[in-house]
Amino acid sequence: MARGMSNSKRAKDKRNRERKELFQEAIADGYTSRRDIAKAVGISSFDLTEFFEDNPKMYKIYSSRRRELRDIALDNITDIVEDKTHPKHYDASKYIVQNYQTDLDIILDSRDGDDVSSSVSVDAGSGVIIKFTNGKEDKE
């Protein structure tokens, strides 16, 4: 005679199936934060962590959705950089320059250990002034 599943195992499997359905509905409804997903599934944040550990495919879906959010945010920043009339154009441009490596970063290498620094100031009469100095000038 075949040995059947215990009641607790069967109950856990049923609960897991129900949570998978609720999780997929939450993702389809646009929930992306752990807090909102846990609330939609009806579990605590700790239980959501266990749910992801037990269901790697569901965690993969969650991770994919989070990456989509990052792409949307980068698209928004790109739109601001491309719109020169946007009030945050300068801030977005500065963010891109500070956080993303360009082909110039690879090509332009400092020679002989000379450190080049720059300073940016805004002069009321002539606009933005960018001054480049090397380490030798700073020491003199």
83 and 103 share one domain = yes
Residue 56 inside a domain? The answer is yes
101 and 133 share one domain = no
**Cβ partners under 8 Å of residue 124, min gap 6:** none
Q: How many domains does the chain have?
A: 2
Write out the two tokens for 4. 């059947």
Residue 129 inside a domain? The answer is yes
Q: Quote the CA–CA distance of 21 and 41 in Å, as a whole number.
A: 9
Q: What is the pLDDT of residues 35-90, one digit of tens each?
A: 999 999 999 999 999 999 999 999 999 999 999 998 998 899 989 999 999 999 99
pTM reported for the whole predicted model: 0.58
Does the pLDDT at position 107 exceed 90? no
